[in-house]
Amino acid sequence: MRLRHAMVAIAGAALPLVFAGTAQASDSVTFPLNELNGSGAHAEATLTVMDGDLHVQINGEGFTPELVHAQHIHGAVNGTEFVCPGPELDTNGDGQVATEEGLPAYGDVFVALTTEGDTSPASGLAVDRMPVADADGTITYDRVIPAEMLPAGTIDNLANLHIVQHGLDVNGNDAYDFESLGESVFAASKGVEGVPEEATNPATCGMVMPHGGVETGGAGTQGSEQLPLAAFGGLALVGAAGAFAVRRRLARQTS
């Protein structure tokens, strides 16, 4: 709650000063989506808040080519701090952290990052509206999700959320099949039968704000871990200089 109050306080005062010259107040954060389950995939995500809308941009490579890759914002807005799962969560010992095995770490589907239409968790397995990797295994995603389609509290709690991309070809036959891992336990739990586990296992995961930053207050570090939070309103905590550093870093990455 302390963070939220800080955000409210600066929303009306500091942002127009800090970001003077921009057409309207907006904040942006870029963070990596790191490989999971030996997928060979990685990506970079940029979230930009603009008047309550959320602009989501994801650029990734190394994905199984020409196959659909479901992707979601995972987590919750109840203050729970989620993390990307480590290999210790492979409870059934098949060498993969399946989606349902990772849920205790990164939380349930919060927003389905579909290419069009509904973005609620009900669209979590809407594979006809999820990104498809091109022949080189590249995924490019760019969508503005209007404020009215975002669950309550999304913007205020972005620092606790994650992005997870799914789907990997474990046995190297360029397809999602049942040979290596069988049927998706996660999909079946959602009432969708006949989906290979390869299609739903996580391929990348990235935290909007790395665990252990300002929100926890425990470590008290002042390193780069806090910069993403600064972009989402922690300016009062980190300072305007940090915010400018973020903007410069983002500018370099996108130029």
Residues in touch with Cu ion (CB under 5 A) = 72, 164
* Phi and psi torsions of 49, nearest 5°: -95, 125
Question: Which residue's CB is nearer to Cu ion, number 68 or number 231?
Answer: 68
Sequence letter at residue 111: V
Question: Which residue's CB is nearer to Cu ion, number 155 or number 164?
Answer: 164
* Phi and psi torsions of 140, nearest 5°: -125, 125
Q: Tell me the closest approach of the beta carbon of residue 74 to Cu ion, in angstroms.
A: 5
Q: Which residues pair with 163 in a beta bridge?
A: 73, 206
Q: Tell me the closest approach of the beta carbon of residue 106 to Cu ion, in angstroms.
A: 8
The residue number with the shortest CB distance to Cu ion is: 72
Question: Which residue's CB is nearer to Cu ion, number 186 or number 232?
Answer: 186
Question: Which residue's CB is nearer to Cu ion, number 27 or number 169?
Answer: 169
Give the number of other Cβ atoms within 10 Å of residue 250's Cβ.
17
Q: Tell me the closest approach of the beta carbon of residue 173 to Cu ion, in angstroms.
A: 23
Q: Tell me the closest approach of the beta carbon of residue 71 to Cu ion, in angstroms.
A: 7
Nearest to 134 by CA among 203, 71, 65: 65
Question: Which residue's CB is nearer to Cu ion, number 85 or number 210?
Answer: 85
Q: Tell me the closest approach of the beta carbon of residue 127 to Cu ion, in angstroms.
A: 12
**Contact between residue 175 and residue 67 where contact means Cβ atoms under 8 Å apart:** yes
**Contact between residue 120 and residue 114 where contact means Cβ atoms under 8 Å apart:** no
How remote is the C-alpha of 119 from its chain's centroid?
Answer: 14
Question: Which residue's CB is nearer to Cu ion, number 69 or number 72?
Answer: 72
**229: DSSP letter:** H
* Phi and psi torsions of 205, nearest 5°: -150, 140
Q: Tell me the closest approach of the beta carbon of residue 126 to Cu ion, in angstroms.
A: 12
Sequence letter at residue 49: V
